[in-house]
Structure 1
Amino acid sequence: MKYGYGRVSSKGQKLYGTSYQEQKDILLEHGVPEENIYTDTYTGKKMSREGFDKVLSLLASGDELIVCKLDRLARTAAEGSLLVKQLVDMGVKVNILNMGVADNTPIGRLMVTVLFAFAEYERDMIVERTSAGKVYKREHEPSYREGRKPISIDKVHFQKIAQKQKDGSMTVRDCCRELSISRSTWYNLVRKEARV
């Protein structure tokens, strides 16, 4: 059975041949029945998506999943290559139309290997660019400090909130909301205050 999956980052996206309609037309041209085409509109970092989860739940050995591009399937090459390998190991043929077919044939396994190599290259490039950026910053900005900027919280305000938490009139969650900080930051501040 053929299944198709399409994704857009935002409703109305029409750039680079990735609109809903363009993806749907391409999937139909490649023999995917319209009822077997699943789509999502999603942004952000989550991998879990309604249409994506549905098509994954339907796939079985012998099926074929067709997507227009790898980036419609996953956000990164690493994420995509791992997913493709899992599907191929299940006996599912994965047809990435702008790259090729990954399946349990010698050429299909080569395709998976190429995806993993590309994923490793992508990770290396990110590390290299990040390192080069840090070196540049250290050389050109004397005040540069690696890591997140320290959170600046008014000490008197913090002490008032901390006292309310001790008295039981505020929960830790309420305190974190009031100060716009995470729970770990809250506990770090409490520990620092206890040492003073």
Structure 2
Amino acid sequence: MGNAASSAKRIKSIGTCVSSGPENPFEIAFVRRERACLHESFQPFDAERSSKVAMPKLPKLSGHIARFTDCLDQLTNMIGYTENLLGAWQMARNTGRAHSRQPFLEMNQNKEKNYFAVIGNTFINEFIPYLNGEKEEPSLDKKKVRFASTYSVTMITDVWQRFFTILVAQITESFEQERKKRSKIISQKILIPHQLSEENARSNEKNRLD
């Protein structure tokens, strides 16, 4: 009961910190053992193996898969090994800002259709069962991870669900902030010529009257 209450309290805190912004969610959402769990349970799927995995025969999709695998590798390493929680937070935020330059997302991403959430939910449903051992890869070259067996299926599932929830929230929030900033800059560039024309017209009218 105590653990469940503590977990519920942390989940409630996640929602608070995601919306408020100034607090690092990776720092307040996980205890040290949970951060280590993220790092160690991901090791069989880290970036070293991405080149060995049979990628889809689509260069852009394969590139995205490799980059996202590398992103997860770096994040779990910073959170659970080097304990660079600020770096992990900055990386998540930078990922959102970088995606604001994608034309498709710039035009189609909204509250009703959050593509980051779609991807996050897919990973929760499809990838976590491999992380917690409920499913096994057909490959025989899976790494053996030291201490991985000390984490229960329930713990790995809970930790990764919270991780993906936080990651999606941070990417979405920073994406929206950057998109608004870019939209404002574009609007200002459009308005400036009109403003100059109006000022010139007023100046010419004043000179004519003088």
Please say whether Structure 1 and Structure 2 have the same fold, judged by a TM-score greater than 0.5: no
Q: Which structure has the larger Rg over C-alpha atoms?
A: 1
Q: TM-score, normalised by structure 1?
A: 0.30
Structure with greater helix share of residues = 2
Q: TM-score, normalised by structure 2?
A: 0.29
